[in-house]
Amino acid sequence: MQLFFRESGQGRPIIILHGLMGSSDNWLPQAKMLSDEYRVFIVDQRNHGQSPHNHTLNYTVLASDLKEFIEQQGLEKPIVLGHSMGGKTAMNFAIAYPDMIGALIVADIAPKYYKVHHDVIVKGLKAIPIDTITTRGEADQVLAEYVKEEDVRQFLLKNLTRKPEGGFSWKINLPVIEKSLEDIGQDLQFEGTYNGPTLFIRGASSNYVRDEDRDRIKKLFPKSTLITMDTGHWVQAEKPKEFVEVVRNFLHAIKQ
């Protein structure tokens, strides 16, 4: 699969993977900051952004997509950074293909099963009359009945795109995402460990990575470090400069 990506900078390659219902657009500020020192690739995973739509969405195929992308670009042991669903993709990839990755960075997700909890969001997105709305404001009014947080709605509505002939369509493959929510919550799909340098970054007010997850993180990723930032789930968006500094400090330390 030919994934859409944005590339900037020069140096050691870093691949950045967004979360569920996100896209490479979400990471443009962080990529710009990192591109002074690294060759940064921000990728749209399948069924998201400008990448192709497909009937399958699970971590086996997402890890395979990443492997194919690295091979297509001819990258040598890139650093892989993923947030939420992208972090699960990155963890699966690191365990499945440990010789293809130089370092792993996981933002606010743990190697464990999560119960389906995006179903209300999907219900809200489906409630938007995509064929008849004329403005994003109309879409926001409908979505507000399901999602109270304005910043979350703004994030979700970035998936709306204007059609050349007028009106809107979805960038995301909403029907496949809806039927794949259970798969997106799954634990890691591959047996084994990743023994390379690994950084976990969690948000202090997020409930995605709990203290009780530390033991399993250390078991699967023996050379891992866990850092807590004063944020919620969107660690990289809430404090982008601080997040990039944490990433940069980690990469400088493992380089020595």
Give the active site residue among 18, 48, 83, 233: 233
Give the active site residue among 24, 84, 180, 224: 84
Judge whether 233 counts as a catalytic residue: yes
Q: Which of 34, 26, 47, 42 is nearest to 246 (CA)?
A: 34
Judge whether 55 counts as a catalytic residue: no
* Active-site amino acid positions: 84, 233
